[in-house]
Amino acid sequence: MELIGERWALLVVRELMFGPRRFGDLRASLNGISANVLTQRLAGLEQAGIVIRRKLPPPASVWVYELTPWGYESEEAIKALGRWATRSPAHDPTLPLSATSLMLSFRTMYAGGIEAVIGFRLEGEGFVACATRDEIAIRRDQPEAVDVTFSGSPMAIASIVYGGRPIGAAQDSGDLRLEGNRRLAEDFVKLFPLPQKTDMM
């Protein structure tokens, strides 16, 4: 579909993968998008049947955007694109990314191997990851009763998981706060290997 192939539309869909978002929250997480462009992309996604707009019940009573059931089916395609993109020789894992991008990358790259509940506090956004030996399920939620919690910016945590930065170094610099099982945290960050770069020749 031409609409889904457009960059901003793809990014909007990705940001909605973990549940409904208000317009302002969406714009804040999509660095560089104007209000006008976001309005246009949301309207196009609604027209295509990928996104719906609805009002939350009291006491929230705010308008939110969320994916339709068909919209949620796009996750496998987006994850496949993510795996493909990381194989590019030009892929740079140090580039800025949002909290949602980081969580979706975890769902894409998880190699399995542990059973644990991991919490994340990422600059005002909370997520809970339930990892099993074979898969990882992640929801947007404040971490409570979890085995370990990572707190910091998405880029700081990405630098540990994908860049090989030691947890201790991130803690010493103040980029990371860790609560809970340190050994589990050390094991967890090793479970997301990036695929080998493609040979362009």
Residue 47: both structure tokens together:
């027209």
Domain ranges of the chain: 2-73, 91-188
Yes or no: say if 47 and 26 are a contact pair by the CB < 8 Å rule: no
Q: Residue 160: phi, psi to the nearest 5?
A: -80, -50
Which pLDDT score is estimated for 62? 92
Residues of the chain under the 70 pLDDT cut: 1-5, 200-201
Q: Which helix (H) or strand (E) holds 177?
A: strand 176-180
β strands within 7-161, DSSP E: 51-55, 63-67, 116-122, 125-131, 136-140, 148-152
- Contact by Cβ (8 Å): 164, 146: no
Superfamily of domain 91-188: SCP2 sterol-binding domain (3.30.1050.10)
Assess if CATH 2.30.31.70 describes domain 2-73.
no
Query: Both tokens of residue 17?
Result: 């993968």
Judge residue 194's burial from the number of C-beta atoms within 10 Å of its C-beta, 0-12 exposed, 13-18 middle, 19 or more buried: middle
Say if residues 109 and 193 touch (Cβ distance below 8 Å).
Answer: yes
What's the pLDDT at 195? 86
Same fold, 2-73 and 91-188: no
Two structure tokens written together for 190 = 């090793």
Residue 19 · residue 48 · CB < 8 Å:
no
**pLDDT (0 to 100) of residue 61:** 83
Which is it for the CA torsion 94, 100, 106, 108, positive or negative?
negative
Residue 116 contacts residue 96 (beta carbons within 8 Å): no
141 to each of 57, 74, 98, 144, how far by Cα in Å? 18, 22, 16, 9
